[in-house]
Amino acid sequence: MLLAGSISRQPMADQVAALSCGIWQGQPVADLDYAEDSTAEIDANFILAADGGIVEVQATGEERPFSRQELDKLLDLAEAGCAQLFEMQMAAVKAGL
pLDDT of residue 6: 85
Does residue 45 surpass a pLDDT of 90? yes
Report, as an integer, the average pLDDT of 36-55: 96
Q: How many of the other CB atoms lie within 10 Å of CB of 87? A: 13
- pTM, two decimals, is 0.84
Phi-psi domain of 96 (left: phi exceeds 0; alpha: psi -120 through 50; beta: other): left
Q: What percent of the chain has pLDDT over 90?
A: 80
Cα–Cα distance, 97 to 91 (Å, whole number): 9
Residue 96 has pLDDT above 70, yes or no: yes
| Cα gap 74→34, rounded to integer Å | 17
User: Residue 97's pLDDT is what?
Assistant: 66
Top pLDDT among 26 and 8 is at 26
Question: What are the residue boundaries of the structural domains of the chain, listed by start?
Answer: 16-94
Where residue 84 falls among pLDDT bands split at 50, 70, 90?
very high
pLDDT higher than threshold 70 for residue 66: yes
Model confidence pLDDT, tens digit, residues 21-41? 999 999 999 999 999 999 999
CATH number listed for the domain at residues 16-94: 3.30.230.70
